[in-house]
Amino acid sequence: MSPTWVFISELVLVGLVFLMFYAILGLFLVYLERRVCAFIQNRLGPNRVGPQGIFQTIADLIKLLFKELFIIKNADRFLFNLAPFIVIIASLMAIGSLPYAKGLQAIDFNIGIFYILAVTSLGVVGILLAGWSSNSKYSLLGAMRSGAQIISYELSVGLSMLAIIIFSGSMQLSVIVESQANGWWIFKGHIPAFISFIIFLIAATAETNRGPFDLAEAESELTAGFHTEYTGIRFAFFFLAEYMNMFLAAALATTLFLGGWMPLHFGIDTQFNHIMDFIPPVVWFFGKTFFVIYIIMLFKWTFPRLRIDQLLTLEWKYLLPINLFNIVLIAFLVLMGWHF
């Protein structure tokens, strides 16, 4: 076969693999959330459909597929149909660029982090389109609030990521993971990296409209949010995109702060490192990601919701100044060489 055909078929195969991965991981995450929240609340989660209830999400998906997809009068039909796809495309593009193990990366940009930030900002466009084209004032209000929230918190996310970029000196994701071969940045960068990690976690849950920051879409708030007018499979897309955004946030936290697929090393070439190397890198990556996902789920199920003005106060008056100060501190540390 000619080289172009090989190239194209390779692209198609990789794309299919990623779509399958995305879908299966999405189904699994929904099931995991229901189980985790059930255990926290002293009850069993789904446990009847399939062994231990693992087919519950598939049953829900089949139910959603049967729902009627109705068209709203006076709604902008093209944008209304387009909005769910934009959110899915944005999160899929971002997940496709993460390093899952040494060499197991679809594409290795030299501006990896910058690319991820740019692509996740497309998700905001999807949400605003959803609210606008629904032709309902409550959806529009919800979408505006959600849009304001996401745009504000993108600043904090970006600045936290900047901290690690300063430490490791590169924006390329594989280089950042390789630079943690002698210890994860959360340990090597001691206090400033830890502060950045905490801020990243808080800002990332706010980015994904989850947890205590979910007033734009919560059931007991008065406006039901930007996805009120969506039924059936289109609603399923928004739902799925939200869970995969959570996975993306956790995977980013793992890659930047907790070492990605790198096992737990302290120093170079010690006996401890050799023992840690026995566990395969993919297991390390997913283990760490699920640990961070568990923390994000704990946030959601423990805390009451923040009001919109408290949310924005948190960002602009607390997280942003601390972040800026942190960046200056880290730059100074790197200059002086006072990190490990």
Question: Given the structure tokens 């692509």, which residue do they identify?
Answer: 119
Helix (H) / strand (E) containing 107: none
Residue (80 or 213) nearer to other proteins, CB? 213
Any contact of residue 218 with other proteins (CB under 8 A)?
yes
Query: Is-contact 95 18, C-beta < 8 A?
Result: yes
* List 11, 14, 20, 44, residue binding other proteins (CB under 8 A): 44
Any contact of residue 36 with other proteins (CB under 8 A)?
yes
* List 84, 123, 126, 212, residue binding other proteins (CB under 8 A): 212
Residue (109 or 299) nearer to other proteins, CB? 299
Helix (H) / strand (E) containing 46: none
Any contact of residue 33 with other proteins (CB under 8 A)?
no
Any contact of residue 151 with other proteins (CB under 8 A)?
no
**Residue 132: which residues within 8 A CB-CB, separation 6 or more?**
76, 79, 140, 143
Site for other proteins in 242-281 (CB under 8 A): none
Any contact of residue 137 with other proteins (CB under 8 A)?
no
Any contact of residue 37 with other proteins (CB under 8 A)?
yes
Phi, psi of 330 (to 5 degrees): -65, -40
- The span from the CA of 258 to the CA of 183, in Å, is 9
Residue (96 or 212) nearer to other proteins, CB? 212
Find the shortest distance in angstroms from Cβ 142 to other proteins: 12
Any contact of residue 64 with other proteins (CB under 8 A)?
no
Alpha helices in 268-340 (DSSP H): 271-276, 281-302, 308-313, 320-336
- The span from the CA of 9 to the CA of 77, in Å, is 34
Site for other proteins in 299-328 (CB under 8 A): 299, 301-310, 318
Any contact of residue 51 with other proteins (CB under 8 A)?
no
Which of the 8 DSSP states describes residue 71? P
- The span from the CA of 253 to the CA of 259, in Å, is 9
Q: Interface residues with other proteins (CB under 8 A)?
A: 36-37, 39-44, 212, 214-215, 218, 220-222, 298-299, 301-310, 318
